[in-house]
Amino acid sequence: MVKSKNSPDVIIIGGGVIGCAVAYFLASEHGIESLIIERNGIGSEASGGAAGELAAAELTEKGAHRPPAIFTQFLQEGIALHANLLPALLEESGVDYLLTEIPLLRPAFTDDEANGMRDELARLHASGIAASWLEPKDIQAMRTWLADDVLGAVFSTELQLESYPFALALAQAAEQHGVEIRTGEVTGIERSGGRVTGVRLGSELLSARTVVIANGPWSRFAAKWVGLDIPVIPIRGQIVHLDLPCEAPRPNQAIFHSTGYVLPKASGSLYVGTTIEDVGFDSEPTIEARDSIMEAVARISPQVIDIPIKRISACLRPYSTDEMPIIGAIPGIDGLFIATGHAFKGMTLCLVTGKSLAEIMAIGSSSFPMTEFSPARFVSA
């Protein structure tokens, strides 16, 4: 093999928002140099194709799986960090990714939905999440885009951003702190004894004593390199981008329901979505998904049916088998870390993931408790 002269402190596999966030915090808070290796381009996969809504108020239907409290707290930490870091990222990158507030409605159209969501409100309040229940008359007064047969809705104010510009901003801010970004496909992780020594890019060996696997659902392919099952699968999510004329009325609130959503963006775009499809690594958008999304969303927001469709997009989200992120040191291999499995919350959690993992790597522990996200949970005793 040809050995590269470049010997960074850390090599990060994956140039999405997770990998860029880890690199950013390693450099900006701990003075640790890293090299990001990205197969395609920054934000070219899920990081650039996400809807960009940042919310901790995840309501579940009655009897459905509820996320553990630690996950809700992690979401809250992630949102707070987005707000706090905005001035620095704008200054360091020069990219305005339109982080803004968005009023959000989660409607109920059946008695079971309404009862379940009222019950869930108590859990949100206990977590410190500001939300309220609106009766139909309150909703009508707001002149929303909701269907007339709505029985009520949970109202909250969330944050959102433009995903691709945010990915670029995070990458460029990281570069301002000395992070290097290189295009290439990692084909193996090198080890000597029980520790990492670098990665392989074809015939080239890049040396490093620390490696981070942060390439979304593709992290599962690292299993054969490290001898540990990485239980992450790709789930395709599709979004329909509507061609709303500039002069046309826009919805004033986002609408999120279990069957679909309507999301007006600060840029003027209007998104409707989404799908949850286990189709392997097929990231092509489909006409079938377009039709099913439009049918579902028209039921909760009839106004969308008359708006022309501009395009359809799709991306692959990394889902772990237990629906929790996988973040931390990989047991048994010194210097090897992972950050994946964020599902559709990667944009919300990228900064807090990057900050927490950088702390673990630099000082051995993080300010946010990360035990429940550790990859050690998948290692048999």
**Per-residue confidence (pLDDT) for residue 283, from 0 to 100:** 95
Strand partners, 135: none
Confidence of residue 1 (pLDDT cuts 50, 70, 90): very low
Return the pLDDT at 4: 44
Percent of the chain as helix, strand, coil, to the nearest 5:
35, 30, 35
Note the pTM of the prediction, 2 decimals: 0.94
Q: What is the pLDDT of residues 115-150, one digit of tens each?
A: 988 888 888 898 888 999 999 999 999 989 999 999
Residues contacting 337, CB < 8 A, separation 6+:
210, 211, 212, 213, 328, 329, 330, 357, 360, 361
Beta bridge partners of 152: 108
Domain ranges of the chain: 2-48+165-231+322-378
For the cut 60, the answer to whether the pLDDT of residue 3 exceeds it is: no
The answer regarding whether domain 2-48+165-231+322-378 maps to CATH 3.50.50.60 reads yes
The predicted model gives 288-308 an average pLDDT of 95
Q: Which two tokens stand for residue 61?
A: 């239907």
Under the banding of pLDDT at 50, 70 and 90, the label for residue 65 is low
Tell me if residue 73 falls in helix, strand or coil: helix
Q: pLDDT digit string (tens) for 183-200? A: 999 999 999 989 999 999
Mean pLDDT of 241-259: 90
Band (pLDDT 50/70/90 cuts) for residue 281 is: very high
317 alpha-carbon distance from chain centroid? 8
